[in-house]
Amino acid sequence: MALLKTSTTLSFRATAFPLLPSDVTHGHTTNTRKLHWKPTQAALTSSFHLPMRSFEAKNRTSTDDVKRLRLITAIKTPYLPDGRFDLEAYDTLVNLQIENGVEGVIVGGTTGEGQLMSWDEHIMLIGHTVNCFGVKIKVIGNTGSNSTREAIHATEQGFAVGMHAALHINPYYGKTSLNGLISHFNTVLPMGPTIIYNVPSRTSQDIPPQVIQTLAQSASLAGVKECMGNDRIKQYTDNGIVVWSGNDDQCHDARWGYGATGVISVASNLVPGLMRELIIGGENPALNSKLMPLVEWLFCEPNPIGLNTALAQLGVARPVFRLPYVPLPLKKRMEFVNLVKGIGREHFIGDKDVQVLDDNDFILIGRH
């Protein structure tokens, strides 16, 4: 049997242990090896992604297509009394968005309660939306996570079922460094058109401009959903980066005064036609002022509590809440009735009279 070659290396992850010729005897190492140890170094391996199937390639949307979207609704997910998705009500909601000129929907975002879904539910809902409405409206799946591993897996699955773009939040709770943010986003950007979502009020960490400017070198970055105000939006738009306002109360000025492409809206769930007029129809301070009381009401408690309550009162979604969300109190429900009357029932989705609803009308689901 031939002797081993005079140079051998045992390789472990990110660490190499070369064996010297004197340490090798007739195919066996001696007990007194001299190991040249090198400290481990962090290494980001190239992302490996599954090849697209013909269905995915055929339905692929370019990043430029996503950049042109002006009015995007963060769509609500309605439930049945047992806590499962109410797909019939969901389809009605999406159809109403399409009929009123909305150009895109965020599926399973904060408003859609993706944080309360299993990943199986999440990807199913993205696929369902694509299959039913993907030729009429752009479907943007919220496949972000504070775990890079989960974000990669969910984004692969989202594009596999045909979503047009991905929405990605920065890692929350277990926050990382700025270099960590860049590495996290760079693992998912190559998969397809991506919107990065900056909402420090939820993540407790701002994504600063230097991070976005670094990520903008990727052709897959469609833009940023920015919640840090219009001065930040102007900073990006002055440098050619597409931005959607993430704040309904600031979106009119962001669009017409600070260069934002549009808005990713909560209020458009309720009044999609008026939001289209506000964002696409031209500068309209009077309409903006008219909508402000509704917007303030929607966000009097953390989103989506107000929206869920409003949709139940309008009769377009069952009054079912997945905990920990609970409906707004009776006083606020009475205020909503007056808001609808003031703006005009005809501007809100659905065709039923707005109701106050009693506390006992609501169903709270803890296990589903």
DSSP type of residue 208: -
Confidence (pLDDT) at 144: 97
Better pLDDT: 360 or 10: 360
Confidence (pLDDT) at 61: 86
Q: For 219-248, what is the mean pLDDT?
A: 98
Q: For 248-277, what is the mean pLDDT?
A: 98
Catalytic residues: 197, 225
Confidence (pLDDT) at 59: 53
pTM (two decimals): 0.85
Q: Which run of H or E residues covers position 212?
A: helix 209-215
Better pLDDT: 58 or 69: 69
Q: For 41-49, what is the mean pLDDT?
A: 48
What is residue 76's three-state secondary structure?
coil
- Give me the DSSP letters along 301-343: SSTTHHHHHHHHHHTSS-SEEETT--PPPHHHHHHHHHHHHHH
Better pLDDT: 239 or 368: 239
Q: Which of 196, 252, 259 is nearest to 225 (CA)?
A: 196
pLDDT of 30 strictly over 60:
no
Give tens-digit pLDDT for 157-198: 999 999 999 999 999 998 999 999 999 999 999 999 999 999
Confidence (pLDDT) at 22: 42
The pLDDT-based confidence of 18 (bands split at 50, 70, 90) is very low
Burial-class residue 8 by CB neighbours within 10 Å (0-12, 13-18, 19+).
middle
pLDDT of 23 strictly over 90:
no
